[in-house]
Amino acid sequence: MTELWVERTGVRRYTGRSSRGAEVLVGNDDVEGVFSPGELMKIALAACSGMSSDAPLRRRLGDDYQTTINVSGAADREQERYPLLEERMELDLSSLSEDEVVRVLTVFSVFFLPLTFIVGIYGMNFQFMPELRERWGYPAVMGAMGFVTLVIFLGFRKRGWLRG
């Protein structure tokens, strides 16, 4: 297992390190050359999205496809949280035919729209959501999301839209 730690390097400045030799500079957002903790969280979110979409995009677009994932959202300093983070993936599809572009966009949309809907419902923080008090509420929602993803995957595979 990779070991992770931070070392203090100055006033509200730290260097994060891993046993694999990686380093990241962390500090206040008013200091040049460092990432704030909130910026690191946004970078981690963008990187996870990129890594999870890498294999299907590589199959469809080739090993050298170009993409940029932007994450934005303002911090609520009073509650010390980010109430909303938005991701935007910019993908160069210029090497594809029009039919292939429509196919790629359809696959991404159909996979992510139902999951985004479910996450959006539970992100509204209503006071009276009875399933939140149930012991199996969280596993049930995660299972439903997994089931939706599996059904979509099998449907696209049956139609041949997920071929390599």
* CA distances from residue 84 to 74, 75, 102, 123 in whole angstroms, order as listed: 7, 8, 29, 9
* 102-161 pLDDT per residue, tens: 887 887 788 788 878 877 777 776 677 777 777 888 888 888 888 988 888 888 888 877
Give the count of domains, the chain.
3
Q: How far apart are CA 95 and CA 117, in angstroms?
A: 31
Pair type for strands 13-18 and 23-27: antiparallel
Cβ neighbour number for residue 83 with a 10 Å cutoff: 11
Task: Output DSSP code: residue 134.
Answer: S
Domain that holds residue 130: 96-164
Q: What is the pLDDT of residue 163?
A: 60
For residues 114 and 68, membership in a common domain is answered with no
For residues 118 and 159, membership in a common domain is answered with yes
CATH number at residue 154: 1.20.58.340
Pair type for strands 23-27 and 86-91: unpaired
